[in-house]
């Protein structure tokens, strides 16, 4: 992406340990602003924390239920604040970049809490890229085939608003995938 000094690029994330924090930290060195959404949690330590309001939380819960029509998972209400805040990341992004793993459980989807956010993105026709840490490669969601397709190379961030999300247990290759994504998309800010 060609940038001017006035171009503001925002990463919408969740501020969780793991991929969210790596997106935030590495993004900072590239001049990317991160908005790390939260809802009534004390564990959230990001300096870029944005606490969502009750109305946004309830809209997120609605989107969790919509995503579950495809995922068909048991909703663990113990984590509903995290699942709901995923909607803030997705609704504000044109592109979604996730670090996790792709699984098949009723449908082809992404594992864990990240899977809820990715399904919300699918439900709303966002451009989606997933780095599968097990397969060590990038995939993109194909709407025409309803499945993840392998990418021949690292994708690029081409939107001013993107979601950088993922697994808490990020691996070295997951960290490298985020580094490569940023390097492939932007020059470092000096």
Nearest C-alpha neighbor of 131 from the set 182, 80, 77, 55: 182
Tell me whether residue 87 is in a domain.
Answer: yes
Task: Look up the domain containing 150 and give its range.
Answer: 10-185
Tell me whether residue 42 is in a domain.
Answer: yes
Predicted confidence at residue 128, as pLDDT, reads 98
pLDDT tens string 72-115? 999 888 888 889 999 999 999 999 999 999 999 889 999 999 99
Tell me whether residue 55 is in a domain.
Answer: yes
Nearest C-alpha neighbor of 14 from the set 105, 109, 100, 83: 83
Tell me whether residue 5 is in a domain.
Answer: no
Answer whether residue 2 shows pLDDT above 70: no
Whole-number Å distance between alpha carbons of 135 and 3 = 32
Answer whether residue 189 shows pLDDT above 70: no
Tell me whether residue 176 is in a domain.
Answer: yes
Q: Using CB atoms within 10 A of its CB, is residue 41 exposed (0-12), middle (13-18) or buried (19+)?
A: middle
Residue 121 contacts residue 128 (beta carbons within 8 Å): yes
Tell me whether residue 4 is in a domain.
Answer: no
Number of domains in the chain: 1
Band (pLDDT 50/70/90 cuts) for residue 190 is very low
Q: Is the pTM of this model over 0.75?
A: yes
Predicted confidence at residue 132, as pLDDT, reads 98
Predicted confidence at residue 86, as pLDDT, reads 95
Q: What is the CATH number of the domain that holds 57?
A: 3.40.50
Tell me whether residue 3 is in a domain.
Answer: no
146-150 mean pLDDT: 97
Whole-number Å distance between alpha carbons of 147 and 132 = 14
Whole-number Å distance between alpha carbons of 13 and 37 = 6
pLDDT tens string 11-62? 999 988 999 999 999 999 999 999 999 887 767 677 888 888 999 999 999 9
Predicted confidence at residue 48, as pLDDT, reads 83
Answer whether residue 6 shows pLDDT above 70: no
Tell me whether residue 124 is in a domain.
Answer: yes
Four-residue CA torsion sign, 174, 177, 183, 185: negative
């Amino acid at each position: 992406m060609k940038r001017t000094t006035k171009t503001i690029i925002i990463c919408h994330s969740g501020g969780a340990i793991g991929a969210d924090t790596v997106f935030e930290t590495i993004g900072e060195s590239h001049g990317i602003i991160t908005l790390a959404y939260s809802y009534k949690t004390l564990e959230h330590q990001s300096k870029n924390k944005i606490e969502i309001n009750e109305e946004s939380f309830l809209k997120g819960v609605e989107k969790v239920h919509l995503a579950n029509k495809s995922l068909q998972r048991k909703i663990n209400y113990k984590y509903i604040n995290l699942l709901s805040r995923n909607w803030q990341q997705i609704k504000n992004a044109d592109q979604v970049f996730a670090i996790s793993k792709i699984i098949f459980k009723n449908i082809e989807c992404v594992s864990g809490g990240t899977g809820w956010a990715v399904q919300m993105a699918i439900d709303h026709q966002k451009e989606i890229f997933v780095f599968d840490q097990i397969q060590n490669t990038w995939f993109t969601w194909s709407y025409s085939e309803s499945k993840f397709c392998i990418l021949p190379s690292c994708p690029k961030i081409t939107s001013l608003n993107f979601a950088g999300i993922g697994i808490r247990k990020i691996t070295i290759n997951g960290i490298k995938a985020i580094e490569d994504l940023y390097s492939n998309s932007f020059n470092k800010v000096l």
